[in-house]
Amino acid sequence: MTHIVVNQDLCTRCGICVKVCPSGIIDPVDETHLPQVQDENILHCLYCGHCEAFCPSEALVLNLRPDEKVPLPTGAGTISPEDIAFYLKKRRSVRHFTGEPVPKEKILEVLDIARYAASGTNAQPVQWLVVHNPEKVRKIAELTIEWMRTLLNTPHPMSGYVPALISAWEQGYDVICRGAPHLLFAHIPEESPIAPVDAIIAFTHFDLAAPAFGIGTCWAGFVTAASMFYEPLQKELDLPAGRKFAYAMMFGNPKYKVYGIPRRKPLEVTWK
């Protein structure tokens, strides 16, 4: 099977596909030779799509579900430096939510963006678990508090910190999930040494894309820790065999809007 499909009428033989291929497996092109990948080099392909994405004449298609190729309209995705700066700077962790659930269809739209996040060797190891039912979110928060109780009077680094959280919970304050209606978990292969970073990159994509859809997010560190170490919570979430949690995020419709940008520490850069 041809690994890359090239339209000879559109191909200008510019050789950009050869240069941008991370694996260097596309043969050099000239006036008589179109880009191609030898059969013995196909196994070295990362299926990253660089060859296709950087082709200025759109003459090349990676032969991986080519019928799913989406054309990129002229100017699509172009954002001014000023707009992207304000968009990213105004991003806030949301801890107050309305009672209205986020439709599953909208969640899938954001996750579909997150699947394009970079990953080591383009392995794309991240899968998602969405806890959409608010009652189940509450159950997860309860199990997280249970885990915190096991840390009391132990050498654990959080031992001195959890009493205040437990006390607040007992007084009726959800200090774990902040009343969020939904939780999102990223899970990865147990044995992969680089997948934890891949998961954070993918989660950051979700975190940054969500506000454009009217969704508020907050990284759920307490739930993450409990999901990694507390067996009752692991059983509740019931991941497939061979998978482990990478991180969790609470999300929902934000109760309040953002009207300003807070201060941050001055930028510190070392040049060499």
The answer to whether 183 touches 247, Cβ cutoff 8 Å, is no
Which secondary-structure segment (H or E) carries 219?
strand 216-219
Domain 4-68, what fold?
A: Alpha-Beta Plaits (3.30.70)
Pair of tokens at residue 66: 């080519």
Residue 135 φ/ψ, nearest 5 degrees: -65, -35
Which secondary-structure segment (H or E) carries 128?
strand 127-131
Domain 83-252, what fold?
A: NADH Oxidase (3.40.109)
List the one residue out of 25, 28, 19 whose CA is nearest residue 38: 25
pLDDT per residue over 157-192, tens digit each? 999 999 999 999 999 999 999 999 999 999 999 999
Average pLDDT over residues 205-227: 98
CA angle 211, 216, 220 (to 5 degrees): 125
Distances (CA, A) of 49 to 128, 239, 259: 23, 30, 39
Residues whose CB falls within 8 Å of the CB of residue 14, separated by 6 or more in sequence, listed in order: 29, 56, 57
CA angle 58, 65, 10 (to 5 degrees): 20
Q: What is the pTM of this model?
A: 0.92
Q: Where are the domains of the chain?
A: 4-68, 83-252
pLDDT per residue over 91-140, tens digit each? 999 999 998 999 999 999 999 999 999 999 999 999 999 999 999 999 99
Q: Is residue 208 over pLDDT 70? A: yes
pLDDT per residue over 38-94, tens digit each? 999 999 999 999 999 999 999 999 999 988 888 888 888 899 999 999 999 999 999
Three-state secondary structure call for residue 15: coil
Amino acid at site 101: P
